[in-house]
């Protein structure tokens, strides 16, 4: 298994977990994350959001099982991670959330985006290397 395929499985698991928790136990999940529990009527929107987490998780598993993963799907997940990071940075900078709440998700978003770009560079023929000392 390539590094890219292993990463796709890891990200898929995180998406499936986010989807399941958002769908099945949204109030408890928000509490575990250090956020205020959503109003009950917001669970409708959270259910729709969970569908996207779940479907993207399944798409990533499908991509990891392909001989050559689709670069469009990988870039779409990179964009999702960049937006996740930016939203976290915005709400952190405005004081709405704390670093304790945003730190782990923002770290994951940056790590996942960076590794996806690096590991998928072989699909484009690009060579991305780490700086040497």
**Could you tell me the end-to-end alpha-carbon distance of the chain, in angstroms, rounded to an integer?**
29
Tens digits of residue pLDDT in 17-60: 999 999 999 999 999 999 999 999 999 999 999 999 999 999 99
Domain count, the chain: 1
- Is residue 131 in a domain? no
pLDDT of residue 126: 67
- Is residue 130 in a domain? no
- Is residue 115 in a domain? yes
- Is residue 81 in a domain? yes
- Is residue 132 in a domain? no
- Which range of residues forms the domain containing residue 62? 3-124
- Is residue 10 in a domain? yes
- Is residue 45 in a domain? yes
- Is residue 86 in a domain? yes
Q: Is the dihedral of CA 31, 32, 35, 39 positive or negative?
A: negative
Q: For the whole model, what pTM was predicted?
A: 0.89
With vertex at residue 21, the alpha carbon angle to CA 18 and CA 26, rounded to the nearest 5 degrees, is: 120
Tens digits of residue pLDDT in 84-131: 999 999 999 999 999 999 999 999 999 999 999 999 998 877 666 656
């Amino acid at each position: 298994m390539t590094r890219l395929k292993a990463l796709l499985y890891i990200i898929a698991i995180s998406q499936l977990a986010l989807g399941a928790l958002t769908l099945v136990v949204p109030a408890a999940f928000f509490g575990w994350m250090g956020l205020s529990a959503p109003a009950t009527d917001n669970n409708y929107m959270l259910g729709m959001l969970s569908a996207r987490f779940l479907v993207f998780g399944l798409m990533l598993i499908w991509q990891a099982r392909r001989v050559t993963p689709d670069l469009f799907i990988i870039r779409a997940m990179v964009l999702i991670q960049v937006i996740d990071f930016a939203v976290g940075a915005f709400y952190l900078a405005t004081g709405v959330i704390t670093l304790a709440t945003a730190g782990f998700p923002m770290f994951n978003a940056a790590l996942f985006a960076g590794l996806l770009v690096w590991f998928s560079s072989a699909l484009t023929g690009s060579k991305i290397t780490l700086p040497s000392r």
